[in-house]
Structure 1
């Protein structure tokens, strides 16, 4: 029996522990915001947080998770109220949208460790996330906007 803590809720299911976390999230637990991209951990579409750190769920077996907390894009805010989600919406970042949950999760992790990242910081942190539509400039602008929103909220 595997127990996973996802978005603050405990889930149990039968598995030997070899299943990639991505499939447990999507197919068993129905957290479908996390996407399958390459299956090799290279594109970033499957990015989730494990105790706040971004990981590639397609190459992480459920047995490696242990008691750590998993956060998916659904766990950021049910109503899309997280500053990164707000910035993505205000700046109309997605084109096809397929990679965006992974992009958002990587951006959230970046802003958690660097509240006011430079362009270079953003490019470095986001370099492992591929956008087939090439919305990189909008992603960068949205991260800056989210940083500004977070600063405004803290100042309120």
Structure 2
């Protein structure tokens, strides 16, 4: 079977993998990008969130063969004005507790603010609903998203 070709964090990537292999495992085990975490394996917790063509996806349940030719961004490749604002707000508001879910939380927050620069609490709750946090930092996550949105207005 021919290699699967896509763009990973802005660079062309060709991978010899079973097309049914979850994107998460291809990226973690073959590409060595371990920032996205394995949480539940059933697309329910959001720890594995990556962007595929700019949209957040649960990489634990996305077969790599289904996204051939796509642009994949992991937490390691996240860049730009929105990403910086989110990361700065996360640090400023001390969002992280254990940190396990935070790469997925940040990826979802960046996607939200890219599509909705001035989100309401309802927008945030809806966009972030698929991301679970065992430490229950949801109040700080919401505040950080509002903080990032304010920073982007300047």
Same fold (TM over 0.5): yes
Aligned to 2:98: 96
Q: Choose from 87, 91, 114 the match for 1:112.
A: 114
Q: Give the match for residue 71 of structure 2.
A: 69
Q: CA RMSD, aligned part only?
A: 1.2
CA drift at 1:13: 2.3
Q: List 4+ stretches of structure 1 deviating above 4 A.
A: none
**Uncovered stretches (5+) of structure 2, i.e. residues with no partner:** none
Partners of 1:31 and 1:143 lie apart in 2 by 25
TM-score, scaled to structure 2: 0.94
The DSSP-based 3-state class of the residue aligned with 2:94 is coil
Instruction: Report if the CA contact (8 A) 2:108-2:127 is conserved.
Output: yes
1:36 equivalent in structure 2 = 38
Distance 2:106 2:29 in 1: 21
Partner of 2:129: 127
